[in-house]
Every structure is written in C-alpha cells, then in structure tokens.
Chain A
Amino acid sequence: MSSPEDKTEIGDVKAILEELEAELATEEKAVAKPRRFKSWSPELPTPDPKPAGPVERAIIQAPLIQTVTSVEDDGGIRIKAQVSRDGMECTLMVNRTILGDAAWWFPTPDLGEGSPLPEAIFAVEGVLSLLVDDSTLVLSRSRGALSSWEEIATEVGARVREMLGAGDSLFSEAIQEGIPTAEEVSAGIQHVLDTEVNPGVAAHEGLITLERVRNNSVYIQMGGGCQGCSAADLTLKQGIHGAFRSAIPGLGGIYDETDHAAGVNPYYS
C-alpha cells in the first residue's frame, strides 16, 4: 500500500538511482582512461639517455724500440738467437753490420746463389728462407725439419762468425746494386696499397697504411676490421707480402706495427 507521497518518494529514489548509475558509468569510463592531473603533475627533467662517465680514450701506439735484444760489444763477434713466439722463425742478432743499413729477402735457397753468406747459411740443413736486415738474420725452417732451432741457430751462427771473421764480401754485386731507394719503395708500396690491397680488405672494413720506410724496409699498420682480426697474420703473409714483393723487386723487411690486442672492431674475432 503506497500513498501518492510514497509514490513520489519512490519516483525520487528511482530518479536518484538512475542518476547514480549514470554517474557510476561515467566514473568507470573515467577509470578505464587514466586521469590526467595536469594542474599538479610534476614537470620532471628529461632523463639523460647516456649517464655522464669518464671519457673513453683512444689507445694509440708509439713506436716500440727494442732494447731487450741488444748485443754486447766486447770486441769479439757476438751472436744472440731468439725464437719467435710461434716457433716459426728464429732471429740471429749480430754485433756487426751485415748488409750496410739495408735488407734483402731470400725466399728460397736458390736465390742465395752467388752470395757467399746466404750460400753458407742455406747449406745448413733445415733452413728454408732468410731475411738479412742490417745486423739481423731472420731464418725460417722447412716443415718436418729434424733439427731443433737451437741446433740450426748454432750452426748458422758458427758460419756467420767464420765469414765475418774472414772479412770477405758477403753478398753478390747484383744484390748490392739491386737495393731500391726509400723513395722508390715508398711510392711503390703506396701504389699497391691504393690499387690492390686496400680495395680488397675494404670488404672487411679493413685499412692497411704505410707507417714509415727505413731504407728498403717498410712498417705498416693494419686498422679497422684488420686490427685484432684472427686472420690478420694470414692476410699479411699470404696476401700483402706477395703483392708488395712482386711490385717492388729488392724490397727488404715488411714489419707489422699493429697492436692487434687493442683492436676494437676486428672482422674475425
């Protein structure tokens, strides 16, 4: 039983309920979308994408002067031998100049014919190639050589001492006359780098540069993808050496001054 007053009240309640439902629906929508409190939202500074830290320095190389391998000079002929870390070569350091201040490369025994010192050295069993550079002799030995480096170096040292003591000419005139000038070597190497070597290693983001020339010997740097590359030694010895030597007859030593441990972008790491 309801009075008109009650009806009115019921109608009001219904109206109030409808209003509340409508408000609730509006609020639910508002909850679904995050509210923006523009008026009191704090204005934070844009975070620095890279936090400030110590500046990363480029590691550069200074020319390494070999002071540990100096040979004492007590008046006699003294020869020290040093086997390379990989065991492939042995360097004999003599306290006498052997080929002036120049260098000559004998890749095979037959190319030493006519020169007394190389002939004597190649007569030692196991010696495969010889680089004479100023007062050093760099030997390589044949694969499967039965003699140890100590045996080979001792025998070569005895022959060098004997020939130096005799005071006779050590090299043929053809070699003495065939040594190219530093200018010829520099121009020739740069041409080979520009036209053959660097276009080839560019595919691996590598770059070979001529650092300096000492008489007829050259010092190079391997940069970019070549620096620290596990194939750098192979590239140098089988590719670059061959290109250089075929372009410049009489080229002396080829030395790599790259610090491969400092490479940051090696191609084959």
Chain B
Amino acid sequence: MARIDRLEIRIQTGSQGSDSEVKFQFNGHTLPFDNPSGGTGAGEVFEGAFDLMSVAHAVALNGPESGEWAIDKIAVTYHPSMGDPWDLCWGPVLLDATNAVNLWAEAPTPTFDV
C-alpha cells in the first residue's frame, strides 16, 4: 500500500447528470473534493482534487443522494509520497444512492523498453 499525497479526478458525465454534491470515500470516510470545478450535468466535466497525505487502501466515488448519475469516463491521478504519479482511467458506470464505484488500483509495475 502506498502513501498518497494527493488525488486528482476528472469525471466526464454521460447522458444523465446529477445535482448532488460530488463526494468520495477514502478508507471508509466520506469527503467532498477541494476546489471543485466544472459540473456534473449531462455532457459536463467535473474536476476536483484532495490532499490525502495518508496510506490508501480503499477509494471510491459515491453515487448521488437521489436519482441516477451516468458517467462516461473517470480519470484519476495519484501522487504518491515516493515515486512517480500514476494515472488510471475507467469507462462507463451508472451510480445511485445505494452504490459507489471503486477508484483504487495499485501503481502499475514499471515498464522498460526492449
């Protein structure tokens, strides 16, 4: 498990937007994003970040408190305390008040040219 200094997120909403505040779970704690920008309406892009400064073992994006939120794409960059940041990108998912989508994956193993 890596110690993460900062998380940055970019959410591309699909055909069905949401009015709820965007919140995420970090190790079981529900938090809003710092300095959110953009929107979560249909076709809009939301951007946010959070200075975690903690060891991560579970990160998830909460569904809206009411209605459904159709997401086309979620891109996350993790900035670890040691080593290079890594990017992750997920495809379409439908969220609601009963669920949250996983945003955590360990850093990929390094690549080398052959």
Structural contact, B86 and A68, CB atoms closer than 8 A: yes
Q: Is the CB of A60 within 8 A of B90?
A: no
Give A207 to B89 CA distance when docked, in angstroms: 27
Which chain A residues lie closer than 8 Å to B114 at the CB level? Answer: 79-81, 92, 153-154, 156-158
Summarize A's interface: helix, strand, loop or mixed.
mixed
Which of A4-12, A15-23, A51-59, A109-117 lies at the interface?
Answer: A51-59
For residue B27, CB closer than 8 A to chain A, the reply is no
Kindly state whether residue B35 has any CB partner on chain A within 8 Å: no
Expressed in whole angstroms, the minimum distance between the Cβ of B24 and any Cβ of chain A is: 11
Distance in Å from the Cβ of B21 to the closest Cβ of chain A? Answer: 15
Q: Are B91 and A65 in contact (CB under 8 A)?
A: yes
B87 touches A80 (CB 8 A): no
Residues of B79-114 at the interface with A, using a CB-CB cut-off of 8 Å, are 86-93, 95, 97-102, 104-106, 108-114
Across chains A and B, the number of contacting residue pairs, with CB separation under 8 Å, is 94
Q: How many residues of A contact B (CB 8 A)?
A: 34
Q: What's the Cα separation between A54 and B29 when bound, in Å?
A: 11
Does A78 touch B at the CB level, under 8 Å? yes
Q: How large is the interface on B (under 10, 10 to 19, 20 to 34, 35 or more residues)?
A: 35 or more
Query: Does A145 reach chain B (CB closer than 8 Å)?
Result: no
The reply to whether B97 and A78 form a contact with Cβ atoms under 8 Å apart is no
Known: A68-B86, A156-B114. A59 touches B109 (CB 8 A): no
Q: Is A85 an interface residue (CB 8 A)?
A: yes
Of the candidates B57, B58, B60, B90, the one whose C-beta lies within 8 Å of that of A65 is B90
Residues of A within 8 A of B17 (CB): none
Given the complex of chains A and B, what is the CA–CA distance between A82 and B92 in angstroms? 27
Assess whether A193 is interfacial by the CB under 8 Å rule. no
What would 10 A/B residue contacts be, using CB atoms closer than 8 Å?
A: A55-B97, A57-B63, A57-B97, A58-B99, A62-B74, A65-B90, A66-B89, A68-B88, A80-B111, A93-B111
Give the B-binding residues of A (Cβ under 8 A): 54-55, 57-69, 78-85, 92-93, 150, 153-154, 156-158, 259, 261-262
Q: Which residues of B contact A (CB under 8 A)?
A: 25, 30, 57-58, 60, 62-63, 71, 73-75, 86-93, 95, 97-102, 104-106, 108-114
